[in-house]
Structure 1
Amino acid sequence: MIKLIFSRHLLSFVVFFCMQRLVAQEQILIEAESFKQKGGWVIDQQSFPVLHSSYLMAHGMGRPVADAKTTVKFPKKGTYRVWVRTKDWAPFPVGPGRFKLFVDGQPLQVTFGESGDSAWKWYNGGDIKVDRDSVELVLQDLTGFNGRVDAILFNKGSEAEPPNELAALDMLRNRLLGLAAGRKEMGNFDLVVVGGGVAGTCAALSAARLGLKVALIQDRPLLGGNNSSEVRVHLMGDLDKSYYPKLGRIVRELDNGDPGNGNPNAKEYGDARKFAIVKAEKNLSLFINTHVYQAETENNTIKAVIGRNIETNQETRFTGAYFADCTGDGTLGFLAGADFRMGRESRKETGESLAADEADDFTLGTSNLWASIPVDSTTTFPETPWALPFSDEYHIDEVQSDWQWETGFGNFNTITEAEQIRDHNLRAVYGNWSYLKNHKPEKYAKRELAWVAYIGGKRESRRLMGDHILTQMDIQEGKMYPDATVTATWTIDLHFPDKKNSLYFPDEEFFAGTKHIRVAPYTIPYRSLYSRNINNLFMAGRNISTTHVAFGSTRVMRTCGMMGEVVGMAASIAKKYQSSPRGVYEKYLSEFMRMIKD
């Protein structure tokens, strides 16, 4: 009887396995971001936490971009149903992101990206006949206004719509792309730094120079985060007022001066400089274009992280003794189960005079900066009925943006609605520019958009909780704790919607105001730079342990870079004594502070 049951189970497994192989042979999935030739299309991974995938986007600032192309092998000839996963990002009622898919030179009858539906889903592209072993796919942008495509699926012998539900879609991707089976082990490191902004880059360099074997994982092709040429925010915070004059040396190495915000000259942000400094470190291994989406934990300790390349979808696994969350969003801490906060605390809870009356979800927003340049002849820009509406009564008369172009403020979640925030910013930029070009020709006829950021420059999201939560009182009273490390100087700078902008765009604000509350130089305790409940997790950057009010001062990038330097030092002490981040404070504080001073 037992043998019979076993045989039945074995037979069922064999049938299931054969069916899976048959289905896999008759389904071909192409992730758009994996196209061999991207043309003018760009890769966007900002919504990976929501979509579990990157996608291609035609970011042409109103001018159609060059075609993206790739070749696909077909194991079987015959008739295939074509499905394209996309969305209409600005359906008012029909949006601007139109594109065509060509298969071996023939366009599908459907024009994608103009459905009037803002949700990501599969669209039926009709049937094609494949009579060759491989075919060429071409994505043709029709507008230059941010059409986007996640994936293309060819189904043979089935007209069923592919799944849109995320778990089922993940299973489809894993099966057809062989993600888990193709995962690579990248080795064991003393310190794994997740996030290659200024904070993460400084943390990795600091630790590597102290002899640790370090992995630096960045989810974009460039280092620097908000200070890269993809986002173009200048570095703020003083280094010359530090209680520890040698702290900030690595920040100075990375600092390319002050090109301002949104400078149209990409070279002003020093991308090559940052890469050269990192590449020169023999103890530091850099992994770009890798989004960490999973953490393996045991007994409140991170054992490994798993990343996926945003272009190739190659999966990689990193093991380590210590980890540093420098993602800004607190991504690694969240994946590992670290305590965190998001939004504003109440005045009753924190005792801060600047805190909100009641706790809420309000966060500082995200900016997508832009710039125009003068040109020799008159240029045009199309009308944008799908964008935000501007008028003689209200428009923003600027040739280049600054920090005020900002969306969020509690109307959007800066993590789960990052795509919607960026798209709202784009609707504001394009709508305002269209008004200026078409209604103020005396000033704007001979100007054109030179650059618009499609990667959002985030300010606030999760804050990971440490053994000390920095408060307004710590800052304004200049409290000097025994573990005082980073010296911070920026004002308490809490943004809010501009009143006039709120009047014309209620609950859809994209322009900010602030009130700078000046502070004397103060210090950030080391206990704000490690997790209170994940045993081997450091953090540096805008996701450290503060209240919302205190965060308004600690979030600027030179300050964040010094946090990274401190984390690298702390990791070296922890490794030396086989201790923990907390152990550095509890057992080895005097040695740690000598390192910071000397």
Structure 2
Amino acid sequence: MRIAALILLTTFPVFSSAAELFVEAESFQNQGGWKLDTQFIQEMGSPYLLAHGIGTPVDDATTEVTVAEAGTYHVFVRTKDWVARWNAPGTPGRFQLAIDGKKLATEFGTQGADWAWQSGGTVDLPAGKTELRLIDQTGFDGRCDAIYLTTDKSNAPPNDSEVLSKWRREQLGIADEPAERVGYDLVVVGGGYSGLGAAISGARMGCKVALIQDRGVLGGNGSSEVRVWAMGNIRRGRYPRIGEIIEEISDHATKSPGKKEEFVDELKEQVVRAEENIDLFLNHRAFAVETEGDRIVSVDAFDTRNGAVSRFKGMLFADCTGHAWIGAWAGADLEMTPEGRMGMSNMWAWDERAEPAEFPETPWALPLKMADFPYPRDHHGQWFWESGFDKDPLGDAEGIRDWNLRAVYGAFNAMKNGDGAEKHKTAFLTWVAYIGGPRESRRLIGDVLLNEEDIVSKRDFPDGTVPSTWSIDLHYPKKQYAEKFPDNPFISIAVHGKGVDRMYGYPIPYRCFYSRNISNLFMAGRCASVTHEALGTVRVMKTCGMMGEVVGKAAAICVERQCLPRGVYTDYLDQLTEMLELPGKAYRKQVGGETIIPDDALPLAGPAGLFEGLDPAKMKGLVIDDEKAKVSGPWVKGQGLKGYVGYGYRYASPGSGATMTFEAAAPEAGSYDIRVLYGPHPNRGTTVPVSLEAGGETISRRVDMRGEPTAESKSETFADVSLEKGAKVRVTISSDGAGGNVHADAIQLIAK
């Protein structure tokens, strides 16, 4: 937790009559190479400093304190031996503490599997300023929470894991009443893709927004700290404007994990700070909620660097934490799949240099040989380095992360010092994620609990909004690598289900984005109202971000209409629809004000996203794409034959009963070539039935679609007809008696 009331970081000395000093490691003025780790506050009570040097000791962390009274001080450091829980040999997390320039003899991080105060002996200190220095000895994830010095040995600090416990509050001088931050229409907790979408969307529709993020960067799993590339197609479906905000802040990584700069942390922050209606609170951890009846009144959060507590009051709240923390504290209905959950990933990368590179032996890591893990091709340990499937994702997240680290270091040790040593003499680690990428824990329950059958059967909800285009992708331990460590496998396999339209997307109902029993609580992202199976498709980051976009716009309606989230569905769904059709950059200075569409608004995408083929609007004449045709039977969407119109084409097996009907109206009176566009291929039909109804006549032909693929779909004139202005044209392509696969791309009316 934070800055001590009994020490001095730079100015404002505070003198202790109890002859004691308390220093939170995260409050060190110079953290050197140590990392601020805030992932596990709820389970162990505090942020801490982590010496994550991937095998090379990190630079010292230093701070200056003021000793109020000279004397002999007993030293205590809250830390742990992070591999002791597995009885692993060695102590990789060793570090020393130097006080007033003198190293204590004690090596910290060498005792106990749990967080506890390790004694460091005594030190004689004069009154006045002195320096504290944390000295990493291994580069293998030593950790320090806090330092406590007292002249009374019996005055040992209590070892509790409560966030901002009474004892810590007293030590830090934290006021009983936090500073109030008021006037917010929407308080968003969580700065990943879902939180970013909610905050930016709400702010642009005029809401005053507080965005609370417990780390120093935005993006969550899509930040440079975790480096999961953002998946899920955007700008498509019923409301193709949804996703335009996410397009502004999304990474463009070509691999996962990608390079740090590909995840554009600075751009995300820049876009948020450009919004006048957003107050951004980085490095703030929410830890408590106040409710009245079925409403949230406020959320408490503390600054993870100095302990200052703020109370955020607002009309509406959005849980975008990924773990449903806000909903859980508020008493929202929720669920967590008891077994078979997806786990957490910690990805990694390595490279090679011209000269041989050394890597320390890691006897405490998992004892791996090259056959025990998939070879990290392209120098990347990818998403499938995943564990914790049936472990506690909330109460033991640190244990899951640490097991992943043991797996990574064990694998690289096998490459460098084991049976892969001959091949990897020049290999060296370049990056290992110490921030975990979780996939599944708690989910809040809304008025609709979306399930797999809803998605596969394409159940049509009237409030379907966000297009989910990822397949139902669930992760399980990969059997061949699970045998050696059956209690906690660390390599996963993805099992992809069918039934999700990856072009158009399945529209997720708005009613999945608010709590059914906490009346002013929205949720977006991994804690939305879906089952475990449905989570497999909605959990990817761009889809989560689009959920946030919908939440932000719904919040603006709540403020304008003085209603609650449920009321948007029951009374103002038409208004939400109108908002979802606005460009992502559209904005209002205040709720209910004039909507302004700036010149740099993105062009409207079609129902299946931006065109990947020929744009029908730019082709000669009137073109009707297969997306606008009436489809019956088992057509399959394809994009393999290039040069298609719009977003792709469709094909069907001969005799399958598939039909497709294109309808058009003549824009002017005159004579027209009616053309059929298809992609030739050796497996296409030679006798494909095509019929034309126009001007009271019906013309039927058999079309030979067989041939070698061409650069563009073949345009074949089917008929030449005279039409009155507005006359209807209907072209039907069938599979019966086709003599091969049937291909349907578009029809074209060209005036002669």
Q: Common fold, TM-score beyond 0.5?
A: yes
- 1:417 pairs, out of 396, 405, 408, with 396
State the partner residue of 1:100.
Answer: 96
State the partner residue of 2:32.
Answer: 39
- Residues 402-430 of structure 1 show CA distances to partners (whole Å, capped at 9, x for unaligned) of 110001111x1111111001100000000
Aligned counterparts of 1:73 and 1:375: Cα–Cα separation in 2:
46
If each structure's strand is expressed as a fraction of its own residues, which one has the higher value? 2
- Give the secondary-structure state (helix, strand or coil) at the position aligned to 1:125: strand
Structure 1 pair 392/51, CA: closer, same or farther in 2 (3 Å)? Answer: closer
State the partner residue of 2:479.
Answer: 499
- Give the secondary-structure state (helix, strand or coil) at the position aligned to 1:239: coil
Aligned counterparts of 1:286 and 1:125: Cα–Cα separation in 2:
40
Aligned counterparts of 2:32 and 2:161: Cα–Cα separation in 1:
29
- Give the secondary-structure state (helix, strand or coil) at the position aligned to 2:130: strand
Aligned counterparts of 2:152 and 2:409: Cα–Cα separation in 1:
44
Aligned counterparts of 1:252 and 1:136: Cα–Cα separation in 2:
47
- Give the secondary-structure state (helix, strand or coil) at the position aligned to 1:175: helix
Shift of 1:24: 6.3
Whose relative contact order is higher, 1 or 2, with alpha carbons under 8 Å and at least 6 apart?
1
Shift of 1:23: 7.6
**Structure 2 residue 63 is the aligned partner of structure 1 residue 70:** yes
User: How many residues in Structure 1 have an aligned counterpart in Structure 2?
Assistant: 559
Counterpart AA for 1:275: E
State the partner residue of 1:80.
Answer: 73
- 2:234 pairs, out of 231, 239, 258, with 239
CA contact (8 A) 1:214 1:285 kept: yes
Aligned counterparts of 1:224 and 1:442: Cα–Cα separation in 2:
39
Aligned counterparts of 1:440 and 1:484: Cα–Cα separation in 2:
52
Aligned counterparts of 1:485 and 1:45: Cα–Cα separation in 2:
34
- Residues 230-268 of structure 1 show CA distances to partners (whole Å, capped at 9, x for unaligned) of 0000011111432211111101111232332112x2101
CA contact (8 A) 1:24 1:175 kept: no
**Structure 2 residue 214 is the aligned partner of structure 1 residue 219:** yes
**Structure 2 residue 431 is the aligned partner of structure 1 residue 451:** yes
**Structure 2 residue 570 is the aligned partner of structure 1 residue 592:** no
**Structure 2 residue 277 is the aligned partner of structure 1 residue 283:** yes
Counterpart AA for 2:309: E
State the partner residue of 1:208.
Answer: 203
Structure 1 pair 198/136, CA: closer, same or farther in 2 (3 Å)? Answer: same
State the partner residue of 1:18.
Answer: none
Shift of 1:72: 1.2
State the partner residue of 1:352.
Answer: none
Shift of 1:534: 0.7
- Residues 274-301 of structure 1 show CA distances to partners (whole Å, capped at 9, x for unaligned) of 1111111111111000010011111111
State the partner residue of 2:51.
Answer: 58
TM, length-normalised to structure 1: 0.91
- 1:546 pairs, out of 530, 553, 558, with 530
Shift of 1:323: 0.5
CA contact (8 A) 1:182 1:314 kept: no
CA contact (8 A) 1:67 1:141 kept: yes
If each structure's helix is expressed as a fraction of its own residues, which one has the higher value? 1
Query: Where do 1:355-434 residues align within 5 Å?
Result: 360-398=338-376, 399-410=379-390, 412-434=391-413
Deviates more, 1:184-193 or 1:488-497: 184-193
Counterpart AA for 2:413: S
Aligned counterparts of 1:129 and 1:61: Cα–Cα separation in 2:
35
- 1:112 pairs, out of 89, 108, 115, with 108
CA contact (8 A) 2:45 2:162 kept: no
State the partner residue of 1:165.
Answer: 160
Identity %: 46
Report the RMSD for the aligned CA atoms in angstroms.
Answer: 1.6
State the partner residue of 1:490.
Answer: 470
- Give the secondary-structure state (helix, strand or coil) at the position aligned to 2:495: coil
Counterpart AA for 1:390: L
- Give the secondary-structure state (helix, strand or coil) at the position aligned to 2:473: coil
**Structure 2 residue 560 is the aligned partner of structure 1 residue 576:** yes
Shift of 1:514: 1.8
Aligned counterparts of 1:164 and 1:446: Cα–Cα separation in 2:
45
- Residues 296-337 of structure 1 show CA distances to partners (whole Å, capped at 9, x for unaligned) of 111111111111111222211111000000110111111111
Shift of 1:126: 1.0
Query: Where do 1:119-130 residues align within 5 Å?
Result: 119-130=114-125
State the partner residue of 1:156.
Answer: 151
Aligned counterparts of 1:537 and 1:292: Cα–Cα separation in 2:
15
Counterpart AA for 1:216: L
Structure 1's unaligned 5+ residue stretches are: 1-20, 344-359
Counterpart AA for 2:383: W
Shift of 1:167: 5.2
Counterpart AA for 1:335: W
Shift of 1:47: 0.7
Counterpart AA for 2:92: P
Q: 4+ runs of 1 displaced by more than 6 Å?
A: 21-24
Shift of 1:394: 2.5
Shift of 1:572: 0.5
Structure 2's unaligned 5+ residue stretches are: 1-13, 583-752
Deviates more, 1:483-492 or 1:85-94: 85-94
State the partner residue of 2:21.
Answer: 28
- 1:524 pairs, out of 499, 503, 508, with 508
Aligned counterparts of 1:50 and 1:239: Cα–Cα separation in 2:
36
Deviates more, 1:472-481 or 1:562-571: 472-481
Shift of 1:181: 4.4
State the partner residue of 2:255.
Answer: 260
- Give the secondary-structure state (helix, strand or coil) at the position aligned to 1:495: strand
TM, length-normalised to structure 2: 0.73
- Give the secondary-structure state (helix, strand or coil) at the position aligned to 1:561: helix
